[in-house]
């Protein structure tokens, strides 16, 4: 798919077929993830692609949406706030690094014809526990990965002029 077609095709998908995610698609997605920029190239992230059904059930016990349970795979992005670059004021840049690498995964998945949906509205301590993630690592975001069985409704965006101002 052409880049702008991928960007236009990406939507949050909240309904999945149970067809598995092809391994070659996962390999291409992994490469796209590995090419993501990060502050000082520290790459303070690591993904877990959970195919294991018992582990997926545990994740779905923490974030209980039925559509997450339908998906044949769940991607979790882990971040390490201790090692990431810190802003001059001392604030860890980890949310930015995570946002970029996760969106690489999301857009690569879209290019593969797969649906995704960013998920952050879960109890982080509980998610870390079910995934056996220990500090300084933490589960920053989750997404289902799979083929959509729903068509998302049309969505309103702010106008281009409102979000993108050119200063001459
Ligand atoms: C950082 C972030 C966190 C999100 N967390 C959730 C979530 O926990 N649950 C959910 O259903 N959608 C979540 N979303 C999806 C947004 O609701 C969605 O991106 C937004 O409504 C725009 O719709 P679209 O993705 O279809 O363009 C999240 C999106 C982002 C970027």
Minimum CA distance residue for ligand 1 atom 15: 118
Q: In angstroms, what is the span from residue 118 Cα to ligand 1's centroid?
A: 5
Q: Which domain holds residue 106?
A: 3-151
Residue 13 lies in a domain: yes
Residue 91 has a pLDDT of: 98
Residue 168 lies in a domain: no
Residue 1 has a pLDDT of: 86
- pTM of the model as a whole: 0.98
Q: What is the pLDDT along the chain (168 residues), one digit of tens a residue?
A: 899 999 999 999 999 999 999 999 999 999 999 999 999 999 999 999 999 999 999 999 999 999 999 999 999 999 999 999 999 999 999 999 999 999 999 999 999 999 999 999 999 999 999 999 999 999 999 999 999 999 999 999 999 999 999 999
Minimum CA distance residue for ligand 1 atom 10: 119
Domain count within the chain: 1
Residue 55 has a pLDDT of: 98
Does ligand 1 lie within 6 Å of residue 105's CB atom? no
Residue 42 lies in a domain: yes
Residue 45 lies in a domain: yes
Domain of 113, CATH number, reads 3.40.109.10
Which long-range contacts does 33-36 make (Cβ < 8 Å, 24+ apart)? 33/101, 33/104, 33/105, 33/108, 35/104, 36/100, 36/101, 36/104
Minimum CA distance residue for ligand 1 atom 20: 12
Q: Which of 117, 148, 157 to mutate to test the pocket of ligand 1 (most atoms within 8 A of CB)?
A: 117
Residue 111 lies in a domain: yes
Residue 161 lies in a domain: no
Residue 166 lies in a domain: no
Residue 166 has a pLDDT of: 98
User: Cα–chain-centroid distance for residue 15?
Assistant: 16
């Amino acid at each position: 798919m052409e880049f702008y077609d991928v960007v236009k095709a990406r939507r949050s998908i909240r309904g999945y077929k149970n067809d598995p995610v092809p391994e070659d698609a996962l390999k291409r997605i992994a490469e796209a993830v590995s090419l993501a920029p990060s502050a000082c190239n520290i790459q303070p992230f690591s993904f877990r692609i959970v195919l294991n059904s018992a582990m997926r059930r545990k994740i779905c016990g923490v974030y209980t949406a039925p559509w997450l349970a339908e998906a044949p795979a769940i991607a979790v992005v882990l971040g390490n706030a201790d090692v990431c670059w810190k802003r001059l004021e001392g604030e860890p840049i980890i949310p930015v690094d995570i946002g970029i690498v996760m969106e690489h995964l999301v857009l690569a998945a879209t290019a593969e014809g797969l649906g995704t949906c960013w998920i952050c509205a879960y109890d982080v301590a509980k998610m870390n526990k079910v995934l056996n993630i220990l500090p300084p690592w933490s589960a920053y975001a989750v997404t289902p990965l799979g083929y959509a069985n729903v068509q998302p409704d049309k969505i309103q965006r702010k106008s281009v002029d409102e979000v993108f101002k050119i200063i001459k």
